[in-house]
Amino acid sequence: MMRHMCGKILAVNISQKKGEKKQNIPCGLLMENSGLKDDAHAGSEIRQVSLLAKESIEKIRAKGLDVQYGDFAENLTTEGIDLPTLPIGTLLKVGGKVLLEVTQIGKVCHDRCNIFYTVGDCVMPREGIFAKVIVGGEVQVDDRIEVAG
């Protein structure tokens, strides 16, 4: 039995191209079986939405790098949940009705992306997670995120 975990959304981020830093937006629309509206990754099969925890970003900041939310191309920056420890298939409830299903933990980076060259390291391949949108809806900064099952 997984213990109840909850946290909050610190940033919602989008970009027009893959492999680049994302811009913060106050709120966004997560579309069922697609991803974040107007984001370059929307529509992909298992990696519709990317999530990265503030706790992971702090590890890079501790190395002396000035990084911000969205710099690792994550769609949702979270706080309070140990994202890389969640099993595949975990359901995450965001805000009032959005439901995400964890589909992948980390990723393989075959090439050094713009993020790596700009920031000097990329924590996303090690600690970022990916999810598909089961139930869509609006997501915004300060929304609650919790492990639903």
In the chain the first and final C-alpha atoms are separated, in Å, by 9
pLDDT (0 to 100) of residue 46: 83
* Residue 10 C-alpha from the chain's centroid: 11
For 87, the 3-state DSSP assignment is: coil
Give the pLDDT mean for 67-75.
89
Residue 2 has pLDDT above 70, yes or no: no
Give the pLDDT mean for 117-123.
63
Angle formed at CA 67 by CA 21 and CA 13, multiple of 5 degrees = 40
Q: Which domains does the chain have, with CATH numbers?
A: 6-147 (2.40.33.20)
Q: How many other C-beta atoms can be found within 10 angstroms of the C-beta atom of residue 60?
A: 18
pTM for this predicted structure: 0.88
| Residue 37 contacts residue 12 (beta carbons within 8 Å) | no
pLDDT (0 to 100) of residue 40: 87
Token representation of residue 70 = 């969205």
Q: Encode pLDDT of 101-110 as tens digits.
A: 999 987 666 5
- d(CA 140, CA 31) in angstroms, rounded, equals 14
Residue 121 has pLDDT above 80, yes or no: no
Q: What percent of the chain has pLDDT over 70?
A: 83
Residue 8 has pLDDT above 70, yes or no: yes
pLDDT (0 to 100) of residue 21: 82
